[in-house]
Amino acid sequence: MSIHDRDGIRIALIGCGEHSAENLIPSLAGLNIVDVRTVYDPDPAAAANAARRFRDCDVDPTASAALARNDIDAVVLAATPQVHYELSLEALARGLHVFVEKPPTVTRQQLERLVRAAGERNLVTCVGHNLRHTTAAHQMRCVIEDNATSSSFGKPTAIEMRYHASKPLGDRWGLNSPLRSFLLSHANHAIDFMIYQLGPISRVNAALASGGKGGIALAAQFVFESAAVGTLLATSLAPHFAISSSIVSDQAKIVKLESLSEVVAFGIGQDPKRWGRQWISKTLLTGFAEAGYSVEIEQFTLAALAGDPRACHPSFVDEIAVYDALDAIERLLVGDSARGMVEARG
Ligand SMILES: NC(=O)c1ccc[n+]([C@@H]2O[C@H](COP(=O)([O-])OP(=O)(O)OC[C@H]3O[C@@H](n4cnc5c(N)ncnc54)[C@H](O)[C@@H]3O)[C@@H](O)[C@H]2O)c1
């Protein structure tokens, strides 16, 4: 039976570490259109723990053995960027749809290769930028897209984002670059969120400070293709993960996101100088859907069942825009470091 004639998708889960155990496995287990047939992790205990969460789920001896099975339609990968790239290529060559945690690759060149491989076979791809799939991010987007009412938001003109994480400190994934490690761990999440809200970025500027124990503080400025401007402050120096963002329009409206639990719009509705509109997440409802994890996997699954790569975002094609911004930041900060900055002293 072809995948399009079924009402569920058969998945191999590869990489059963912390993120899988905490977020992906509960999300996969909670979707009745998902059937996880097999798992693989080089750590046998991690693989066995993962397999126990699914009914009739095998543990394969290697990743290639999992991908070579004839009873799977798609793969979910959560390991390292090097593993993501190699196994995505192998999976796409076998005609499997691919969901991969961020970062999908180390370099843009590798990502382009994945884009070509997926395009040749019309396969669905998705990068796990869960932030854009959170309920709060959707609420924020609804405000800026609401052009139907007399108090419509207008054209987004500026965005700011603060993204505070507690790791990585120093090098990760053997990249031999704390900056690249940070960009591929966190800046990519924040930039995908900003692109989701305002569209592609055309110009970049950036500055960097180093903190204790290898932490990083990145201040970046963006000009979007829409001519809007943006700033990002991203750090790995926080005690715990926290984000906030705001978007300002050309019609004197503002929408603010605080953590992932509150969105407030100002300048909307009656008496806009005094009143705003607030969305807050329901008390006791902080689950895998609100955090975007089950939403991104469900979107991927439905797109794969429909055989429609355009129904799933961010795809590998979408992710190119993120790598372009990351690479521009890196070019500004490494080597000829002050190239993009303007002298403050005259
Ligand atoms: N979207 C998010 O919110 C979010 C949060 C945390 C981590 N992540 C991403 O998820 C991925 C995994 O992160 P983590 O925190 O779970 O790391 P982790 O180190 O806890 O888990 C990685 C797992 O991959 C396994 N692995 C190593 N080599 C492998 C191979 N060749 N084949 C298969 N599995 C292999 C390891 O044994 C380990 O179990 C990373 O890419 C990370 O950036 C995303």
- Contact between 194 and 230 under an 8 Å Cβ cutoff? The reply is yes
Instruction: Please tell me the predicted confidence (pLDDT) of residue 274.
Output: 82
Of 67, 83, 327, 37, the C-alpha closest to 206 is 327
Average pLDDT of adjacent 10-residue blocks, the chain of 346 residues: 76 98 96 97 98 97 98 98 98 98 98 98 98 96 78 92 92 95 97 97 95 90 97 96 97 94 88 86 79 97 96 98 97 69 58
Token pair in block for residue 73: 């339609």
Of 157, 226, 218, the C-alpha closest to 190 is 218
Question: pTM of this prediction?
Answer: 0.95
Q: Which residues contact 120 (CB under 8 A, 6 or more apart)?
A: none
Sign of CA dihedral 112, 232, 99, 202: negative
Instruction: Please tell me the predicted confidence (pLDDT) of residue 338.
Output: 46
Measured CA to CA, the distance from residue 139 to residue 135 in angstroms comes to 6
Instruction: Please tell me the predicted confidence (pLDDT) of residue 330.
Output: 95
- Contact between 257 and 246 under an 8 Å Cβ cutoff? The reply is yes
For 234, the 3-state DSSP assignment is: strand
> Ligand 1: does its nearest atom lie under 6 Å from the Cβ of 14?
yes
Measured CA to CA, the distance from residue 81 to residue 18 in angstroms comes to 15
Site to probe by mutation for ligand 1, drawn from 41, 130, 240 as the one with most ligand atoms within 8 Å of Cβ, is 41
> Ligand 1: does its nearest atom lie under 6 Å from the Cβ of 63?
yes
43 alpha carbon – ligand 1 mean position (Å): 12
Measured CA to CA, the distance from residue 164 to residue 186 in angstroms comes to 9
Instruction: Please tell me the predicted confidence (pLDDT) of residue 286.
Output: 64
Q: Which atom of ligand 1 is nearest to the CA of 84?
A: 41
Q: What is the CA radius of gyration of the chain?
A: 21
Measured CA to CA, the distance from residue 295 to residue 293 in angstroms comes to 5
Site to probe by mutation for ligand 1, drawn from 101, 126, 129, 293 as the one with most ligand atoms within 8 Å of Cβ, is 101
Where are the alpha helices (H) located in the chain, listed in sequence order?
18-19, 25-29, 44-52, 63-68, 81-93, 108-120, 135-145, 178-182, 188-198, 293-306, 316-333
For 6, the 3-state DSSP assignment is: coil
Q: Which residues contact 305 (CB under 8 A, 6 or more apart)?
A: 3, 4, 6, 7, 8, 9, 33
Measured CA to CA, the distance from residue 235 to residue 168 in angstroms comes to 10
Q: Which residues contact 228 (CB under 8 A, 6 or more apart)?
A: 155, 156, 157, 158, 159, 198, 199
Measured CA to CA, the distance from residue 200 to residue 64 in angstroms comes to 36
Q: Which atom of ligand 1 is nearest to the CA of 40?
A: 33
Measured CA to CA, the distance from residue 266 to residue 255 in angstroms comes to 6
Q: At what angle do helices 188-198 and 135-145 cross, to 10 degrees?
A: 30
> Ligand 1: does its nearest atom lie under 6 Å from the Cβ of 105?
no
- Contact between 76 and 297 under an 8 Å Cβ cutoff? The reply is yes
For 31, the 3-state DSSP assignment is: coil
Instruction: Please tell me the predicted confidence (pLDDT) of residue 135.
Output: 95
Measured CA to CA, the distance from residue 254 to residue 221 in angstroms comes to 19
